[in-house]
Amino acid sequence: MAQGNLDLYSQFVTSAPGSFIAGKVGLPQPEQLRRHEVGQPALHGPVLIGGEGRLVEPVREMLQGDYEIAGADAEGKFAGLVFDATGIRSPEELKALFEFFNPVVRRVARSGRIVVLGTTPEETGAVDERIAQRALEGFTRSLGKEMKRGATVQLVYVSADADTGASGLESTLRFILSGKSAYVDGQVFTVGAGAASAPASWDRPLEGKVAVVTGAARGIGAEIAAVLSRDGAHVICCDIPAAGESLAATANKVGGTSLPLDVTAADAAEVLAQHVKDRHDGTVDILVHNAGITRDKTLAGMDAARWDSVMAVNLIAPERITAELAEKGVLGEGSRVVGVSSMAGIAGNRGQTNYAASKAGVIGFVDGASTELASKKVTVNAVAPGFIETQMTAAIPFATREAGRRMNSMQQGGLPVDVAEAIAYFASPASSAVTGNVIRVCGQSLLGA
């Protein structure tokens, strides 16, 4: 088994003697997660589809080209289970979940995928139906915690008004039913009513698109640039001028452009606008606000500079740059804005009142801007990473680092590529019905919701 993606502890417990010892003393034994590989099938094995809602047949039709669909009498392991729960209209009918999953849940393969499809509870008619649809959240989050060996469970709420072809759902299903969502677990996605068109190629969905990634010199930002470029986009890589050398290295690696830019500069949006006018057609299709900093200190000991700098980079800059580019028409119709929040913004973190406020603010930004820009068909979503293996987390003291790394359903940290894949999914032209989402890339962290 390739050991490349595993931390030292995981390498030890997946070795033959290590696994023996870990099994004896009950240590966590993290699975080597199966991640997306170009040219490989999305899932290795059949997908069983069940349920009796409005989506089951369109989904079967949608998946049958690129997935192996299991027959009712299939034997062996399943790489995926998809259950359409949109037909469940009362608490009593929730029993259908038990009846479908109970006999087959043990047959889910390593890194298998489970998806439950529901109707957005706020859009349901009767109280009974709203209760039943809301209940799906408790079911999927718990099943996520029960599944082992890298298997994930997600809930997708699809608008009650979505057309029955459900094309708006396709990009979400393809993301979930693949190695691209290796470190996304126990999440609730919402898909709106709009139809979406499939890209010419699902392998290069961003062909011809211009993307801007801030904080691209290193870490997660450099990986976002790489994945967007893999998917076909031309990436304008931005970072502070002091990071110029590594920024140029990222840009070279991904065949993009490097643009030294401090996102907090008063003219940041203007510089970006001028750059895309000079080099492209004057518009940006994808804007990823990844640049972020921490300046930790408990509140009593915090100086104003720590508060101000974190707010300026993490929250004020994304809001201002988005608003200015939208106003100038640089964020054209149908463009994609993606923010980077954090688990700290959901659960809070000691010593991070400034950082957690800024990252919770990013969630508010997603809520507000997705509504405000909906008339221009601009989508606004965010990822909220949990423990990701980067220089930032390598600097955390050992005991805290080990706790953060293991306290999730996957018993390991995620990789920058896991965050980047979620961003690429939001960025896809096929995700036009996906807006206002904050998806945690945290292996279903035990901290937070």
- Kindly tell me the sign of the dihedral angle through the C-alpha atoms of 216, 361, 430, 181: positive
Supply the DSSP string of 62-127, one letter for each residue.
HHTTTSPBPPTT--S-EEEEEEE-TT--STGGGHHHHHHHHHHGGGEEEEEEEEEEEE-GGG-SSH
Q: Nearest distance from residue 235's CB to ligand NAD, in Å?
A: 15
The dihedrals phi and psi of 86, each to the nearest 5 degrees, come to -65, -20
Tell which residue, 130, 109, 48, has the closest CA to residue 84: 48
Per-position x/- string for 283-302, each x denoting binding to ligand NAD as judged by CB under 6 A, each - no binding: -------xxxx---------
Report the residue number, 287 or 291, with the smaller CB distance to ligand NAD.
291
Return the range that interacts with ligand NAD (CB under 6 A); candidates 29-37, 64-72, 239-247, 429-437: 239-247
Question: Does 220 contact ligand NAD by CB under 6 A?
Answer: yes
Based on the residue annotation, tell me whether 157 is a catalytic residue of this protein: no
Longest dimension (CA), the chain: 65
Per-position x/- string for 247-286, each x denoting binding to ligand NAD as judged by CB under 6 A, each - no binding: ---------------xxx----------------------
Among 94, 198, 392, 407, binds ligand NAD (CB under 6 A): 392
Among 10, 178, 342, 408, binds ligand NAD (CB under 6 A): 342
**Whole-number Cα distances in Å, 426 to 57, 162, 184:** 25, 18, 14
The dihedrals phi and psi of 158, each to the nearest 5 degrees, come to -110, 135
Per-position x/- string for 188-217, each x denoting binding to ligand NAD as judged by CB under 6 A, each - no binding: --------------------------xx-x
Question: Does 84 contact ligand NAD by CB under 6 A?
Answer: no
- What does the alpha-carbon distance between residue 404 and residue 13 come to, in Å, rounded to a whole number? 18
* Residue pair 281/206 in contact by the 8 Å Cβ criterion: no
Q: Nearest distance from residue 3's CB to ligand NAD, in Å?
A: 21
* Residue pair 310/293 in contact by the 8 Å Cβ criterion: yes
Q: Bridge-partner residues for 273, per DSSP?
A: none
Among 59, 63, 116, 340, binds ligand NAD (CB under 6 A): 340
Per-position x/- string for 301-320, each x denoting binding to ligand NAD as judged by CB under 6 A, each - no binding: ------------x-------
Q: Mind telling me the catalytic residues?
A: 355
In the complex, the residues that contact ligand NAD under the rule CB under 6 A are: 214-215, 217-221, 239-240, 243, 262-264, 290-293, 313, 340, 342, 385, 387-388, 390-393
